[in-house]
Structures are given as C-alpha cells and as structure tokens.
Structure 1
Amino acid sequence: MNAPSCPTQTRLYENGTVVAEGFPAGEAAEKLAAHPDAVLWLDLDDPDMADLEAVAEPFRLHPLAIEDAVQDHEAPKLQRYPGHVFLNVYALEITATGDRLRLDKQEISAFVTERALITVRKSPSDTKPFVQRWDADAELTGAGGVSFLLYGLLSVVVDGQFAAAQRLDSAMDAIEDALIEEGAAPRPVRMRGVALRKLVATVRRPVAPMPDLVSQAMRTDGRRIDERVAPYYRDVEDHARHTVDEVEHLRDRIEGVLQADLAEQGNVLNDTTRKLAAWAAVIAVPTALTGYFGQNLPYPGYGQTWGFVLSTAIIAASALGLYLYLRRRGWL
C-alpha cells in the first residue's frame, strides 16, 4: 500500500484493545493481514486526490466516493457502494466574541469498510473526542468492530450539534428579553436577532438529515449490527432527533420574536403618527383662519434692523429646538 503524503493517524483494535497505533498509513494493509480479527481506524487530514487514490486501491473505494471526499461543502449524506459505505457529516461548534456568535463547521467524510473506518477531515479539527469515546467502551470493538468505531464518530458529531443548539438557545433568551420589551427594540438589538435567525438556518442544514443518516448507518453492510452495539446507535439517533426538534423550535421562536417586534414597531409608528396628526390639526386651524382673513400683522420691530434680526433668531431657534426634540425621540 502506498503511503499518502498528508498527515495521518492510525489505530488498530483487536478484541477490545488497542494493539497498535501511530504506525505509518502505508502499513495499514499489512497490519490488518497480520491481525485477522482486528479493525482499523485511519484518519487523513486534508488529503488531495493522490492521497485518497493511494488508500483507494487496497480498500477498494469507489471513485465517486473518492471524488465526494475531496470536494468541499458536500451535503450530509450516506451512500452505499460495493464493499463499503461513504458518509459525510459536519461537526459544529458555536463560539462567542462579545455579543456576536460564530459558527465553526468541520466537514468530515468517512469510508466504512468491513474492517476499517477511514475518516477524511477537510478542515482542522480535533480527533481526541473520537478516541476518548472509543476508549470509554473499547471492549465493544470486539463485538461491533467497525460499526462501533462509526458509532463513536457519529456520537461525537451529534453531541457537538446538540451543544451548538443549546448555545443558540441561551443566546436566544437574551435577545428575546430585549426584543419583547415595551416599545420597539433598538436597531442593534434587531440586527442581533436577524443574525441569530441566519445562524439558526445555517445550523439547521447539517443537523436536519442526521436522524435518518444514523438510522441508515445501523445497517452499514446491509445487515443489522450486533445487538450489543445497536442500543448505542439508537441512543445517538434519539439525540439527533432531539437536536433537530431543538433547532426547529429555535427557528420558530426567533421568527415569532422578530414578528412581535415588527408589530410593536408598527404600534409605535401609529402612535407617533397620531400625535403628529393631532398637533398638525391644532396648528392648522389658527393658520387657516388667519390666512382666510389675511391677518399679516406687523411683528415687534417691524421695519427695523433689530426686529429683522430678532424674528430671524426666533425662527432659527424654534427650528433647532424642534429638530433636537425629534432627534432625541428617534424620529429623525
């Protein structure tokens, strides 16, 4: 087996124990031949087509699956090929910088053969959670083999997605409190709400297919997996459905809050319009009467320089005072 040039990680499990790890990827086929009851985990960090082709020959990976593993931004999916299964999932993490939330997505592809789980990470990510999950119940590798390794991968991914949904739910609480206060919310608060709505929509895309994907993964080789491992898959599937429900609830919740704020903006605008109309009526009646009778009365200082200066100053001061008042009320 030719060795890929990209960074790799390797582990060999036999009868519930790790019998070898950290060996070169080029020795993977030899290790499997030397240990007939062992299963392999091979991780490739951002490989190119040549790296995957080096792995494809000994494990008989399908060319279409290889192509999907190289391309970025593939949708979450599980596809079956002769001799192996290919799946693509996303590990999610929500980080915060002040009041702003950022979504980090790590795309992970995997080839599931009879005796090997080959993972392809297309962006930097930590594999320690996978290893820790496998080590926590390593004895099950003797019963489940590669199916148990796949369970560990899916379990970590789904748990991360659920944690991201919970982080969004906590952020939603703060924004909701600010948006539903009496009066329209300030523009920065509304923009945070809109940004959160976009973030929820972005999270929903990789999360929504996961329950069906986990359900399909329970039959990685066309047969049901060992009954000792099946409960673990059902637990992951349940967590995946819970995560989808949480994200759907968040989407409905932020839509409802933004609509409520929009309605409150309309109420405030109607109240303001009513006040302006009332003042306009108060001013319009005397104006109409004086205009009808042509009452252009000389003002104090009429025909004098100081009178002109005084009247101009009063007009300017009135306009400035009105501007400042309307600006402070947020109408300008």
Structure 2
Amino acid sequence: MTTIHNGEVRTRVWRHGKLEAEDFPFADVSEHLKDPDSLVWVDLLDPKPERLLDLAEELGFDAFAVEDALARSERTKATRYPTHTFLTVYATHLLTTPDPALETYESRLATTRVSAFMIPGCLVTVRRGGPFDMQDVVNRWDANPDLVKYGTAALLHGLLDVIVDGQFDTIRDLDDAIEDIEDGLFADEAHTKTIQRGVYRLRKELVQLRRVVLPMREIVNAVMHFRAEHGISAELDSWYTDLYDHVLRAAEWTESLRDMVTTIFETNLSLQDARLNTVMKKLTGWAAIIAVPTAVTGWYGMNVPYPGVGERTGLVTVAIVIALSATVLYLLFKRRDWL
C-alpha cells in the first residue's frame, strides 16, 4: 500500500472500546482490520487520487463514492452501497479576521468538505481543505470512551456532532451580526451604504449556509435508517435522536435568520423612503419661507411708483413684511412638524 507522510494521514485503533494505538503506519491498517474486535479510524487530508484509490481498492469502496470524495465540489448527501455507506457533509466557519477584501460584498463563510466511508469496524474520513480541525472530533471521542465500544456508528456520531456544533456556532455568529445591523438601522446617524452592504453579505452567507445545514436532516435520517446494516445498537438511539434534534434546531434557526434578513432589508428600504420624505418636507418648508422675501423684494423691485419709493419708510416696510411673513410660515411649519 502507498505510504502517506505524517500530516496527511491520521490513524487510530481501539479494541473492546479502549484505545490501543494511534498514528501508526498507514500500511498497518489492513492488519488491524483483520481483527474482528478492532475499530479503526483513518483520516486523510487532501489526499492524492492514487492514494485514496489504493485504500478504496483494498477496503472495497465503490468507485462512484471515491469519485465523489475526490471531486472539487459535491452536495451534502448520504448514499448506501452494498459494502459501505458514503456520506458528504460540510463543516462551517465564519471568518472574523479583518480583511480589506471582506469589507465589500464577499462572503465570510468558510466551509470544509468532510467525506466519510463507513464500513463495519472502520471509519475513513477525507477532508478537502478549510479550517476544520479533526482534533475536536478526537476530543469528543475521548470525552465519551464508553460509546466507542459500540463501533463505527459511535465514531460517526462524534464526527457529525462536532460538525453540527460548528454549524450552530456559525449561525450564532450570523445572528449576532444581524443584531448589530438592527441596532444601527434606527440610529440617528445611520450609514445607509454600510447597512446595505452588511445585509447583502448576510443574505449571501445565509444562502450558502442553508445549502449545507438543511440537508443534514437527511444525513442523520439516513444513518438512523441504516442502523441495522451497520450494527447501531439501541444504546446509540438516544444519542442520534438528540443529534437529529440539534439538526432540526439548526435548520429552523437558519430559516428564521433568513426571514429576519429579509425583514431588515425591507425595513431599511422603508426607512430610506421615510427619511427622503422628511428631507423633501423640510426642503419644501424652507423653500416656502425663502420664497417670501423673494416675492416681496421682487414686487418692490418693479420700475413703477409705489408707496415709500426712494424713502427710508419703504425699506422699513419691506423688512417688516419679510420678517413677519417668514416668522409666520416658520411657526406654522414647525407646529405641523415640517421642519
């Protein structure tokens, strides 16, 4: 079997629920699988096609499943084959590091595709880049050592549980971002362009997140449906039921955030119209006030004799008429909240 360098592969083996060895040579996987009491886990990070094909040939993986694991992009799904079950899920992470490129309309959502081959006594995971760290999954397994004795289904539960928890964290971060936009929406000095950019980016991120969160219901359903084929004992039923409940909550939360973003977008447009109406109302009021002195001076500027022409009384009269008329209009518009 082809040798894989450290860092590209991670291995573990349990016997009777107890960890026996880890990070052993990749070539020893076949030897461990010969023991019916062993439980083997193999993790491949961005493997070369020939390396995954060698492992697939030895363990009897379907060619189409291997092709999906190596594909550049693949939808979230679970497929049952005669010898194994193949599933593809996505771990999510919201980038928070300040980056000038992300201050525009670019999505901050980062995803890591995790494919898993599930056979009796062995779980093979294949990761394709991204910030997802399998150490979180290993820590979850170590925190529940009593579950490992139930076989591959227990390992798969730990993997899916960590991925769903990561999706929850992403949804929570997006929820906080929506609240920040809501706080600025009704601020006295609201920056319309910033709000529009933030709402558009959130809508884009939620659409991407929805594509990977909603199908998780089918994934967990499929695993629970295949429990007989993979020996999922009754002790794991409650764990998978709890996982399915988390998946439903994540899906419902994502849908509610999508509705909230839509509401914020529509509210922002309504507020812009209201602010525009207020501005136009104020401009109209001041235009009416300014029109009074214009009209008076225009009348007295005609080349015809009028009372007070050429005299100081004419100037005083014009000033009094302008001041009185402008004051009356100002008080009238102020009472009606036009200014």
Q: Which bin holds the TM-score, normalised by the shorter protein?
A: 0.7 to 0.9
- The separation in 1 between residues aligned to 2:253 and 2:92, in whole angstroms, is 15
**1:97 CA drift (Å):** 3.2
**1:140 CA drift (Å):** 2.0
Task: Select which of 252, 255, 260 maps to 2:262.
Answer: 255
Give the equivalent residue in structure 2 for 1:323: none
Give the equivalent residue in structure 1 for 2:200: 194
Assess if the C-alpha contact under 8 Å between 2:36 and 2:121 holds in 1: no
Give the equivalent residue in structure 1 for 2:335: none
- The separation in 1 between residues aligned to 2:300 and 2:268, in whole angstroms, is 48
Give the equivalent residue in structure 1 for 2:278: 271
Assess if the C-alpha contact under 8 Å between 2:13 and 2:38 holds in 1: yes
Distance 1:148 1:137, change over 3 A: same
2:48 aligned with 1:41: no
Give the equivalent residue in structure 2 for 1:119: 125
Secondary structure at the aligned position of 1:109 is classed as strand
When normalised by structure 1's length, the TM-score is 0.80
- The separation in 2 between residues aligned to 1:296 and 1:178, in whole angstroms, is 57
2:52 aligned with 1:52: yes
Secondary structure at the aligned position of 1:225 is classed as coil
* Bigger Cα displacement from structure 2, 266-275 vs 23-32: 266-275
Kindly report which structure 2 residues correspond to 1:196-275, keeping only aligned pairs within 5 A, or say none: 196-220=202-226, 223=229, 225-275=232-282
Equivalences, count: 295
Query: 1:41-86: CA deviations, max 9, x gaps?
Result: 0011101210111101111001111011001221111111111111
Distance 1:296 1:267, change over 3 A: farther
**1:163 CA drift (Å):** 1.1
- The separation in 1 between residues aligned to 2:98 and 2:32, in whole angstroms, is 49
Query: 1:145-200: CA deviations, max 9, x gaps?
Result: 00101101000000110111111112221111101335764322332222222222
Unaligned stretches of 5+ residues in structure 2: 305-339
2:97 aligned with 1:97: yes
Assess if the C-alpha contact under 8 Å between 2:44 and 2:125 holds in 1: yes
Query: 1:82-101: CA deviations, max 9, x gaps?
Result: 11111111111223235968
Give the equivalent residue in structure 2 for 1:168: 174
Unaligned stretches of 5+ residues in structure 1: 298-332
Distance 1:259 1:185, change over 3 A: farther
Assess if the C-alpha contact under 8 Å between 1:179 and 1:190 holds in 2: no
**1:260 CA drift (Å):** 0.9
- The separation in 2 between residues aligned to 1:106 and 1:266, in whole angstroms, is 42
Assess if the C-alpha contact under 8 Å between 1:79 and 1:86 holds in 2: yes
Secondary structure at the aligned position of 2:96 is classed as strand
- The separation in 1 between residues aligned to 2:92 and 2:12, in whole angstroms, is 25
When normalised by structure 2's length, the TM-score is 0.79
Distance 1:26 1:221, change over 3 A: farther
2:140 aligned with 1:133: yes
Distance 1:131 1:296, change over 3 A: farther
Secondary structure at the aligned position of 1:199 is classed as helix
* Bigger Cα displacement from structure 2, 250-259 vs 147-156: 250-259
RMSD over equivalenced CA pairs, Å = 2.7
- The separation in 2 between residues aligned to 1:120 and 1:275, in whole angstroms, is 64
**1:251 CA drift (Å):** 1.0
Give the equivalent residue in structure 1 for 2:24: 23
Query: 1:80-124: CA deviations, max 9, x gaps?
Result: 111111111111122323596832211111111112100001115
* Bigger Cα displacement from structure 2, 277-286 vs 218-227: 277-286
Secondary structure at the aligned position of 1:198 is classed as helix
Give the equivalent residue in structure 2 for 1:12: 13
Distance 1:242 1:221, change over 3 A: closer
**1:277 CA drift (Å):** 4.0
* Bigger Cα displacement from structure 2, 22-31 vs 194-203: 194-203
Assess if the C-alpha contact under 8 Å between 2:78 and 2:218 holds in 1: no
